[in-house]
Amino acid sequence: MKENIFELIEDKKYGLVRKEIIKLNTVDIAEFIEELQKDQAVILFRLLPKDMSVEVFSNLENDTQEAIIRAITDKEIANIVNDLYFDDMIDFIEEMPASIVKKILKHSKEDERKLINQFLNYPADSAGSLMTIEYVGLKKEMTLKQAMELIKRVGIDKETIYTCYVMDSNRKLEGIVSLRKLVISDENKTVEEIMVTNPIKVYTHDDQEEIAKVFKKYDFIALPVVDKEDRLTGIITIDDVVDVIEQENTEDFHKMAAMEPTEENYLDTSVFTLAKRRIMWLMILMVSAMFTGSIINNFQDVLEKVVILASFMPMLMGTGGNAGSQSSTLVIRGMALEQIELSDVFKVIGKELRVSMLVGSGLALLNFIRMYYLQSVDIKIATTVCLTLIVVVVIAKLVGGTLPILARSLKLDPAIMASPFITTIVDAVSLFVYFSMASYFLGIG
């Protein structure tokens, strides 16, 4: 089908193109337009019926949006600007160069321009930056029949009509009504009789991560946003929150790999920016690793006498690092999902202690069999390595399990206490334990 449309465009059979393309979902149309050359993209965009074109527009990438705005008439721009949902409009304006923004603002009314400015000033990642203003507002005195008539009239321009918001004359939020309740109730009742009072709400400056948690907990499809005086300033819908959830997860993935987090698409990010985001943590960790090197220096006499000890270092450091990363990942994720609280620290220690003894002993046993029976390593050395392994796994898992909780209690992000950091600490601990044990068991130093 797609191939077919491509051909029709090549042949300039635009009537047929239009007929084919409007059968598609607007998200798919946007995806299709992205695959075209910019001039063809503009042509195809202008073929769309007005109601579809706005939806398609809000799903396009910024550079395509820009190309279209540059190419179309002022009247067409006005159509788009008037019909875009307010949150999509703000997202769009934020990404456009000044010349385009000017062109757009020309088509908006005085009060709308004021509102746009207000919205552009909400902190990134706040409720204010996520919300939209296209909601249905009701009065509590209305009968359900009147409410329904209002919804019929204004519903087409609203981001959602499935939750309606009841306000007093000062826009103070008094309650919410789901369209479901409205539909199934007797139409002679008043809004007040069926509304939920004290609805769960968020504040304009609340962080998006907290908002995502509210949605996840209560299974809402929309949530009211109020200012400090409890006046309704906007609503947030679930589809935007799904994006927030993925964004927050991406941030955690990045932080846990010792990078400055970003929302940006990897392929669209410049080499310099990528390097900048990575080098800081690598430097910090590199300098810390030099400390580990100085431990080896302190035990140089041990190593000189039994040089074979060096060959077990990677295995001990690697296993310790991996064991610690497992624990820290479980705890970081558990805290992100609010399954592990600060007060659970002793439960975590107890669990990690027992798990690490089990796991450490298993690994040590396997290792001993391999070293002593298969590789004929000296029994003293094999014993040193295997006992070290148990101690290292236990320490690694305790460090990995508790540092994220410690970070949280210090109001730091637990995600920084992930694999790279834990590994660096555990490397130092491993080598110290290893050489201390070796000195003792082999009678050196």
Site residues for its own copies, 219-248, by CB under 8 A, read 219, 221, 238-239, 241-243, 245-246
Contacts with its own copies in 10-49 (CB under 8 A)?
23, 25, 27
Q: Does 204 bind its own copies (CB under 8 A)?
A: no
Residues from 389 through 408 that contact its own copies (CB under 8 A): none
Residue pair 235/135 in contact (Cβ under 8 Å)? The answer is yes
Q: What letter represents residue 19's amino acid?
A: K
Q: Which two tokens stand for residue 384?
A: 């040193």
User: How far is residue 137's CA from residue 151's CA, in Å, rounded to a whole number?
Assistant: 9
Identify which of residues 108 and 143 has a Cβ nearer to its own copies in the complex: 143
Residue recorded with tokens 């009239």: 153
How many residues in the chain? 445
**Contact flag: residue 98 with its own copies (CB under 8 A):** no
Examine residue 50 and tell whether it contacts its own copies (CB under 8 A): no
We find the least distance from the C-beta atom of residue 119 to its own copies, in angstroms, to be 20
Q: How far is the CB of 166 from its own copies (least distance, A)?
A: 17
CB-CB neighbours of 124 under 10 Å: 10
Residue with smaller CB distance to its own copies, 65 or 292 = 292
The Cα–Cα gap between 263 and 272 comes to 16
Does residue 265 touch its own copies according to CB under 8 A? Answer: yes
User: Among the candidate windows 77-85, 102-110, 258-266, 403-411, which touches its own copies by CB under 8 A?
Assistant: 258-266
Q: Name residue 289's amino acid.
A: A
Q: Is 142 helix (H, G, I), strand (E, B) or coil?
A: coil
Instruction: Candidates 37, 50, 162, 380: give the one binding its own copies (CB under 8 A).
Output: 162
Q: Does 218 bind its own copies (CB under 8 A)?
A: yes
Cα separation of 225 and 208, whole Å?
A: 12
Judged by CB under 8 A, the residue of 1, 120, 342, 358 near its own copies is: 358
| Minimal distance, residue 88 CB to its own copies, in Å | 11
Within residues 284-343, the interface with its own copies by CB under 8 A covers: 285-287, 289-290, 292-294, 296-297, 300, 303-304, 307-308, 310-315, 317-319, 321-323, 325-326, 328-334, 337, 339-340
Q: Return the structure tokens found at 141.
A: 């005195």
Distance between CA 266 and CA 65 in Å, rounded? 21
β-pair partners for 190 = 143
> Rounded to whole angstroms, what are the CA distances from 412 to 92, 332, 334, 349?
33, 12, 16, 20
Count of residues engaged in binding its own copies, rule: CB under 8 A: 109
Nearest-approach distance from CB 145 to its own copies, in angstroms: 13
- Residue closer to its own copies (CB basis): 318 or 445: 318
Of residues 114, 145, 217, 380, which one binds its own copies by CB under 8 A?
217
Q: Distance (Å, rounded) from C-alpha 247 to C-alpha 241?
A: 9
Which lies closer to its own copies via its Cβ, residue 224 or residue 334? 334
Query: Per CB under 8 A, which region of 60-68, 71-79, 93-101, 363-371 contacts its own copies?
Result: 363-371
Q: Could you tell me the strand order of the sheet in which 222-226 lies?
A: 202-203, 222-226, 232-237
Pick from 209, 226, 131: which is nearest to 171 by CA?
226
- Backbone torsion region of residue 230, taken as left when φ is above 0, otherwise alpha when ψ lies between -120 and 50, otherwise beta: left
Of the ranges 46-54, 72-80, 152-160, 224-232, which one interacts with its own copies (CB under 8 A)? 152-160
| Burial class of residue 213, CB neighbours in 10 A (0-12, 13-18, 19+) | middle
Stretch that binds its own copies, among 4-12, 66-74, 165-173, 418-426 (CB under 8 A): 418-426
The residue (of 123 and 293) whose beta carbon lies closer to its own copies is 293
Q: Which of 40, 143, 250, 436 binds its own copies (CB under 8 A)?
A: 250
Binding flag, residue 54, its own copies (CB under 8 A) = no
Vertex 33 angle, CA 32 and 38, to 5°: 145
Residue showing tokens 């159509």: 79
Where residue 225 falls (left for φ over 0; alpha for ψ -120 to 50; beta otherwise) is beta
Least distance from its own copies to the Cβ atom of residue 300, Å: 6
